[in-house]
């Protein structure tokens, strides 16, 4: 994972983001220093995604005060894909609660690819965590509603509340994915065979496919991430979307599993909860401070945006966001070190 942070000073911050002008400057810098990166390949296993512009690149930061700082293609729409897993999980947790979500979906990394069937078999049918396809399908299976229309309304309204605006489905992407989602159908049926999915497998996969086809912008994703950073309150609209406890639980899952089998490296290098999607989106959350979103379609071999990872690594360091970074309290203590206790 080459993230090109050489020479970037590691700022340590436990308070708010820097002043707005400084954030604007750093967001522009994150975009400019990575816009020429040519590594990665656009996802082509979903036909509708293969046509994405490999040059497209947006970087956006939304803080918990409601300010948004942007550079590049931040208002171009693209399908949310797997990033939807994080927000639908939060919406479902609000309904089923902490213990039920832990028991039914889990929180542990599988260490295998995001669409692994083997991981289910190795764990007695347990989906393990909501950020891989098995766990996301199990999560979507817990969406409340009397029928398909009710369940879709729950998902669509919840995602819109996170973004602070109405969102629509990319019908071309939905049709393309629905025609090629045999593996997800197999995962759903396997979960059902183990008694891990109460809802109809086919309808659950259809709902999951539709949630992944929702169109968002980089700006939307930054606001959605900032909503989790702000304890579940959308900082732009002021509307509470989920409880502070659900926001906390969701961020804990993202920290350990959000970047698939590269989650450990991500946490080691960036030090923040994050979630990627195969359309090139990437969201990162600095609890209590704000959200970072990037979009760039070329992916690494784990399905994570190459430019997005590099830009986020830069901003994590330059803005002092890494939750594991700290400076010695004693270094700011006016007393001599030997006298401190």
Residues annotated within the binding site for substrate are 82, 133, 177, 184, 208, 260, 278
Residue list, annotated binding site: 82, 133, 177, 184, 208, 260, 278
Residue that is written with structure tokens 């990665």 in the block = 40
CB 132, CB 205: distance < 8 Å: no
How far, in Å, CA of 104 to CA of 127, rounded? 8
CB 136, CB 125: distance < 8 Å: no
Tokens describing residue 282: 């990437």
- Count CA within 13 A, CB hemisphere, residue 7: 2
How far, in Å, CA of 150 to CA of 172, rounded? 23
How far, in Å, CA of 131 to CA of 144, rounded? 20
How far, in Å, CA of 49 to CA of 221, rounded? 18
- DSSP H or E run through 225: helix 218-229
How far, in Å, CA of 282 to CA of 30, rounded? 14
With CA atoms as reference, report the closest residue to 280 among 235, 312, 246, 249: 312
With CA atoms as reference, report the closest residue to 231 among 259, 203, 254, 250: 250
51's CB contacts (< 8 A; 6+ apart) are none
> What is the SS3 assignment for 335?
coil
DSSP string, 34-80: HTT---SB---SSGGGTTS-TT--EEEEEETTS-EEEEESTT--EE-
CB 154, CB 139: distance < 8 Å: no
């Amino acid at each position: 994972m080459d993230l090109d942070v050489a020479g970037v000073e590691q700022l340590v911050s436990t308070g708010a983001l820097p002043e707005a002008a400084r954030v604007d400057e750093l967001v522009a810098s994150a975009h400019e220093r990575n816009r020429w990166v040519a590594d990665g390949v656009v996802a082509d296993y979903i036909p509708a995604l293969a046509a994405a512009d490999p040059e497209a690149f947006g970087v956006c930061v939304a803080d918990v005060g409601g300010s948004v700082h942007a550079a590049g293609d931040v208002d171009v729409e693209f399908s949310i894909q797997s990033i939807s897993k994080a927000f639908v999980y939060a919406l479902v947790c609000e309904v089923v609660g902490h213990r039920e979500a832990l028991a039914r979906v889990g929180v542990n990394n599988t260490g295998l690819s995001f669409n692994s069937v083997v991981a289910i078999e190795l764990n007695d049918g347990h989906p393990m965590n909501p950020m891989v396809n098995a766990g996301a399908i199990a999560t979507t299976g817990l969406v409340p509603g009397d029928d398909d229309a009710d369940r879709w309304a729950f998902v669509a309204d919840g995602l819109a509340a996170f973004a602070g605006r109405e969102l629509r489905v990319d019908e071309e992407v939905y049709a393309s994915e629905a025609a090629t989602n045999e593996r997800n159908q197999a995962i759903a049926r396997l979960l059902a065979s183990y008694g891990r999915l109460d809802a109809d497998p086919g309808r659950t996969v259809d709902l999951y496919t539709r949630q992944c086809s929702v169109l968002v912008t980089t700006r939307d994703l930054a606001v959605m991430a900032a909503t989790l950073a702000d304890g579940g309150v959308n900082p732009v609209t002021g509307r509470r979307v989920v409880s502070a406890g659900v926001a906390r639980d969701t961020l804990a899952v993202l920290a350990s599993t959000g970047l698939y089998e590269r989650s450990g490296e991500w946490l080691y290098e960036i030090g923040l909860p994050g979630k990627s999607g195969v359309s090139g989106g990437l969201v990162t959350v600095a609890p209590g401070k704000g959200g970072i979103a990037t979009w760039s379609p070329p992916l690494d071999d784990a399905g994570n945006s190459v430019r997005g990872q590099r830009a986020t690594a830069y901003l994590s360091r330059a803005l002092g966001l890494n939750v594991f970074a700290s400076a010695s309290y004693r270094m700011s203590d006016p007393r001599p070190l030997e006298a401190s206790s």
